[in-house]
Amino acid sequence: MRRDFTINAMALELTTDEPTFIDLFNGVSDLQNKLIKTPGKPEDSFSDDPLRMMRAARFMSQLNFTIDQSVLDAIKSMASRLSIISSERIRDEFIKIIMSDQPRLGITLLVECGLAEIFMPEIPMLKLEIDEHHHHKDVYEHTLTVLEQAIALESRLGGANLTLRLAALLHDIGKPKTKELITGGGVSFHHHEVVGARMTKERLRTLRFDNHIIKDVAQLVFLHLRFHGYGSGEWTDSAVRRYVRDAGELLTHLHLLTRADCTTRNQKKAQLLAQTYDQLEERITLLMEQEELNKIRPDLSGEQIMEILKIKPSPTVGKAYDFLLELRLEHGPLGEEKAKSELLNWWKQQS
């Protein structure tokens, strides 16, 4: 089989008396010029393995190389051939692109050459929508900016993070399906986070991502607008508790995605949003110190509920547990005696 690109088609002959460097296709020159070319006709290389078209995008992102025009033309004309490649191979190549230093470069190539249409059509669809907050941008451009801004923040997660990057890329994919024209001009995308979370699950399942990645990314897409109900700090402590409870172990991911989702060019507005989110994080930190929010549980355990109500394991125990959890979220820690009193009052109303 032919090698994919000239920069990968060099060799060192070690069976001769003196090692001989072999470069039949000027790979060294292309390496120096940061150029991606194929050893022969690009169409022949991509016929051997259509995944090489995605690999060209990956090298752009990883190495910051440009692609020879003949290679670009071949990718555009042969993009549909990617459909014969297994979901698993496409997924693995796409992960390498999105986890690279400059994923915008590779994603742009995937979209402009028609490859994304084959395995992730939700992304090129964003080009058709105008962002309701930024009339100078379409949602596609906004999405790439959010991805870059999320990457700039992900040191808080210990480095490159696949879950955060996928959530940033997919957070607005529900917009095309929820677009509504507003009387007098403008558009709205009500509940696009709900629709987008469902679409995210479907797309990542199709690409055979691990279940935990699918679940986490979809949850972040679902929650990415929640902060916008915070206003200038009007949330009660119970609302903050619910925010933490719903985010769970993804709380830091949600912090970063929410911050990255601010792409306004109005510096005053951007600064205000950042300060407001700083305030929310401070409130969460304070409540965590006071109440151990990351371990939110009712004041009574399931065993205690059964003992107090004198019942055996059953769905009723779960209902009682949920009732006490709601009280805990709404009012903070109650203490066992108060919780027992509330539980008995609830129990009377059930009979």
What pLDDT does residue 211 have?
97
The pLDDT of residue 195:
93
- Cα angle 30, 32, 34 (rounded to 5 degrees) comes to 65
Under 8 Å between Cβ of 164 and 264:
no
Question: How would residue 136 be classed by pLDDT, with cut points 50, 70 and 90?
Answer: very low
Classify residue 207 by its DSSP letter: T
pLDDT digits (tens, 9 = 90+) for 75-108: 999 999 999 999 999 999 999 999 999 999 999 9
Is 197 among the domain residues? no
Q: Is residue 110 part of a domain?
A: yes
Question: Residue 108 falls within a domain, yes or no?
Answer: yes
pLDDT-derived band at 272 (thresholds 50, 70, 90) equals confident
Q: What is the mean pLDDT of residues 108-122?
A: 96
pLDDT at 320 over 80: yes
Rounded to 5 degrees, φ, ψ at 292 are 50, 60
Last residue of a domain, one of 119, 148, 182: 119
Task: Please identify, among 89, 119, 149, the residue that sits at the C-terminal boundary of a domain.
Answer: 119
Mean pLDDT of the chain: 88
State how far the Cα of 12 lies from the Cα of 126, in Å rounded to an integer: 46
Could you say which of 119, 149, 170 is where a domain stops?
119
Question: Is 77 a member of any domain?
Answer: yes
Indicate which CATH number applies to the domain containing 75: 1.10.110.30
Split at pLDDT 50, 70, 90, the class of 350 is confident
- Element holding 126 (H helix, E strand): none
User: What is the percent of the chain with per-residue pLDDT over 90, rounded to a whole number?
Assistant: 48
Q: Which two tokens stand for residue 138?
A: 């379409």
Q: Alpha-carbon distance 202 to 258, whole Å?
A: 23
Q: Is residue 196 part of a domain?
A: no
What are 35's strand-pairing partners? 66
Task: Give the residue numbers spanning the domain of 332.
Answer: 297-350
Classify residue 317: in a domain, yes or no.
yes
The pLDDT-based confidence of 1 (bands split at 50, 70, 90) is very low
Structurally, how many domains does the chain consist of? 2
Answer whether residue 270 is part of any domain. Answer: no
Q: Please report the DSSP string for 252-308 in residue order.
A: HHHHHHHHHT---S-HHHHHHHHHHHHHHHHHHHHHHHHH-GGG---SS-HHHHHHH
206: in domain: no
pLDDT of residue 133: 54
